[in-house]
Structure 1
Amino acid sequence: MIKAIIFDFDGLIFDTETCELKSFEELYAKYGVTFPKEEWLKIIGTISTYDPYASLMAAVPHLNMNDLMAERESFFEKIVEGESVREGVKEYIERGKELGLKVAIASSSSRRWIEKYLGVIGLDISLFDVICTSDDVKNVKPDPELYEKVLSHFGIKPDEAIVFEDSANGSLAAIRANIPCVIVPNEVTKGLIFDERVVLRLNSKKDMELDRVIEFISSLK
C-alpha cells in the first residue's frame, strides 16, 4: 500500500534546471565562449566540484568571480520571471492529499532555495508534510540519504512510497533507497541516460493520473 509520494524539486516541481542552463549559456555567450553543456549535465541533481565559473575564467583570464556570479544570477532571475510549476504537479499533490498520502520534497538544494522558489511558483509550503534538503543530510544525491531520511520521518518502508525525479543522479538516489522511482525528465534532462531500474517514464504528469501511477507500481509487487 502506497502511503507517501516524494518529489524532487529542481527540474521536477519547478524547472530551474532549464533556467540555469539558459543563464549560463547567456553568460558564456556574453564573453564569446561556448558553454560546456555536457560537463554541466553531469552534475544535475547533485553537488560537484565542477565549477562553470572557473571554466569561464580559464577561457577569459581577466574576469572576476564575484562579478560573474552576479551577472549569471541577474540572467537567471530574468529568465524565471513568469515561470510556473511544471504541469501536473499541483494535480498530483492535490490528489495525493485526497487519497490521504503523505507528500514530501527531497532535494539536494538548500531549504532557503526551495522556499524561495516555491514562493515564485505559488506553491504553499504547507502542502508538504516534510521538506528534506541538503541542510539536513551529510550526503546528497545520488547518495540515498535524503530519501532514507524521508522514509524515517514518516516511519514507512521503501515500497510504501513513490519517488518522482527528473535527473539521473536523483533517480539513482531513489533506487539506492529501494523506493520505486518514476522519472519525468524536463527539456534539459530528457537526453540523459537513466538507470534501467526506473519503474516508469513520463513526459509529463499529465500523461498519467496519480491513481494510475499507483495502480501500475502496485501491480509490479
Structure 2
Amino acid sequence: MAASLLVVTSPSLSVSREFESTAISPPAPASLTSSGFGSLVTGKRNSVRGRNSLSWVVRRNGFLGSGVAALRNSAKLSGNSVYSARENSNLAGGFCKASLDALIFDCDGVILESEDLHRRAYNLTFEHFNVKCDSKLVDWDTEFYDVLQNTVGGGKPKMRWYFGKNGWPTSTVFETAPESDEDRSTLIDTLQDWKTDKYKDLISSGAKTRPGVLELMDEARSMGIKLAVCSAATKSSVVFCLTNLLGKERFEQLDCFLAGDDVKNKKPDPLIYKVAAENLGVSPDRCLVIEDSLIGLQAARGAGMRCVISYTSSTSNQDFTGSAARYANLGGISLKELIKLMDTTPAAVL
C-alpha cells in the first residue's frame, strides 16, 4: 500500500492546496509525533489570501481508518483541526478518498420553509399600495403561489411575469398602469422594497430553520468543507434571514454568499452556481447543492453540480429526475451520507 500524507493545521489558520516547502518553525505539536501516525517528515508553509499559515505533514504508513472517521480520529488525537488530506498522492478535497469540496445551500425552502411567508408579504404589499389588475386587488392564494414560486425564481421576476400576463396594474405608486420600462421598473422596485420589509417582520416573529440544516453546516465546517448560500431572493432579505436563523457567527463564516441581486439571470439559469464555484475556487463537479424545487435542481445541474433535494409540501410532487437524492428534510442526514452520494452519483453532463 502506498504511503499517504495527512495535512493538519492549527484551528485558527487556513490551508491551501499549493505548498511551498520551508524549514519547519515553530516545531510541530508533540501530539502529532506521539499519536501513532508515524514520523514527522516535513513542514510546509502555505499562502492563503495573502496570509501565511503553518501546516505539518505527517506520514502514515499504516491504515488509520477511512473517510470522515479517519479524519475525526486524527483530529482528536492531534488536538488540531483537519482541513485537507492527500491519500495515495491524490488530493481529496478535505477527505480521504472523498470528492466533496463545497456544500451549497439554497435559502428559501431549504434553510427556511419560507414560501408562505413570502406569499403573505406580497399580499400585504399589494394591499398597502392598492395594486389592482382589471380593477381587482391582486391577491396570491396558496395554490397559485405554489405554482408561481416553482415557475419563476426571484421576487421581482415573479411580479414582472404576473403583470406581463395579467396586465400592468394601477396602484398608489402610479394611478394609471405604467407603460414605460422606467415606470414599470420603479413600480416593481417600490413594491419589492416594501415587501422585503414585511418579510423581515414575519421572520422576526419566530421563524426557525428546517430540521438538520444547522447540524449539517456545523459538521461540514468542522471537516473543512467550504460552505455557501445561493438564493434568488433580494440580498437584504436573505442577509436578514440568515443572520437571524443561522446566527451572526455562522453567517460570517460562509465562504460564499450570493443573492438574486448579484447575478443577472435568476434560477433556473445556472449562473448563480457558476459564479459561486468561481468565488469558492472549486470545480463544479466537486460541489453539492441542496435545493427544494425543480427550478433549483435545473440551475444546479446546469452548472455541472450534483444536487440533493430537501423538498417541501409545495414541491413534493415535482419531478426531481437527475437529483442525487430526495429527502423530506435534512434531519438525521449526515455529511458522510452526502459524501457517499458524491462518490456514487455521476456528475451532471454539460
**TM-score, normalised by the number of residues in structure 2:** 0.53
Q: Which has the higher helix share?
A: 1
Of 164, 168, 180, the residue aligned with 2:294 is: 168
Is residue 40 of structure 1 aligned with residue 167 of structure 2?
Answer: no
Cα distance in structure 2, aligned partners of 1:134 and 1:34: 22
Structure 1, unaligned runs of 5 or more = none
Cα distance in structure 1, aligned partners of 2:100 and 2:147: 37
Is the contact between residue 119 and residue 140 of structure 2 (CA under 8 Å) also seen in structure 1? no
- Please tell me the residue identity of whatever aligns with 2:336: D
Cα distance in structure 2, aligned partners of 1:109 and 1:38: 16
Instruction: Identify the residue that residue 110 of structure 1 maps to in structure 2.
Output: 234
Which structure has more RCO (C-alpha within 8 Å, separation ≥ 6)?
Answer: 1
Is residue 123 of structure 1 aligned with residue 231 of structure 2?
Answer: no
Q: CA shift at 1:43, angstroms?
A: 3.7
The answer to which of 37-46 and 163-172 deviates more is: 37-46
Q: CA shift at 1:40, angstroms?
A: 2.3
Cα distance in structure 2, aligned partners of 1:23 and 1:115: 17
**RMSD of Structure 2 on Structure 1 (CA):** 3.2
| Residues 130 and 56 of structure 1: CA distance in aligned 2, closer, same or farther (over 3 Å) | same
Is the contact between residue 269 and residue 302 of structure 2 (CA under 8 Å) also seen in structure 1? yes
- Please tell me the residue identity of whatever aligns with 1:45: G
Q: CA shift at 1:200, angstroms?
A: 0.7
Cα distance in structure 1, aligned partners of 2:147 and 2:258: 27
Q: CA shift at 1:123, angstroms?
A: 2.5
**TM-score, normalised by the number of residues in structure 1:** 0.80
Classify the secondary structure of the residue corresponding to 1:189: coil
Cα distance in structure 2, aligned partners of 1:196 and 1:102: 26
Cα distance in structure 2, aligned partners of 1:74 and 1:114: 11
Is residue 154 of structure 1 aligned with residue 262 of structure 2?
Answer: no
Instruction: Identify the residue that residue 50 of structure 1 maps to in structure 2.
Output: 161
Classify the secondary structure of the residue corresponding to 1:150: helix
Cα distance in structure 2, aligned partners of 1:12 and 1:123: 16
Is the contact between residue 297 and residue 320 of structure 2 (CA under 8 Å) also seen in structure 1? yes
Over residues 175-220 of structure 1, what are the superposed CA-to-partner deviations in whole Å (9 max), with x where a residue is unaligned?
11110000101233223x2341111101111142121121123122
The answer to which of 69-78 and 40-49 deviates more is: 69-78
Of 118, 123, 140, the residue aligned with 1:20 is: 118
Mapping for residues 38-117 of structure 1, pairs under 5 Å? 39-43=147-151, 45-46=153-154, 47-48=157-158, 49-51=160-162, 64=172, 76=199, 79-80=202-203, 81-117=205-241
Instruction: Identify the residue that residue 11 of structure 1 maps to in structure 2.
Output: 109
Classify the secondary structure of the residue corresponding to 1:50: helix
Cα distance in structure 1, aligned partners of 2:228 and 2:166: 35
Structure 2, unaligned runs of 5 or more = 1-98, 128-136, 174-186
Cα distance in structure 1, aligned partners of 2:138 and 2:302: 41
Cα distance in structure 2, aligned partners of 1:32 and 1:139: 26
Is the contact between residue 2 and residue 101 of structure 1 (CA under 8 Å) also seen in structure 2? yes
- Please tell me the residue identity of whatever aligns with 1:148: K
Q: Which has the larger radius of gyration?
A: 2
Cα distance in structure 2, aligned partners of 1:156 and 1:103: 12
Q: Which has the higher strand share?
A: 2
Instruction: Identify the residue that residue 261 of structure 2 maps to in structure 1.
Output: 135
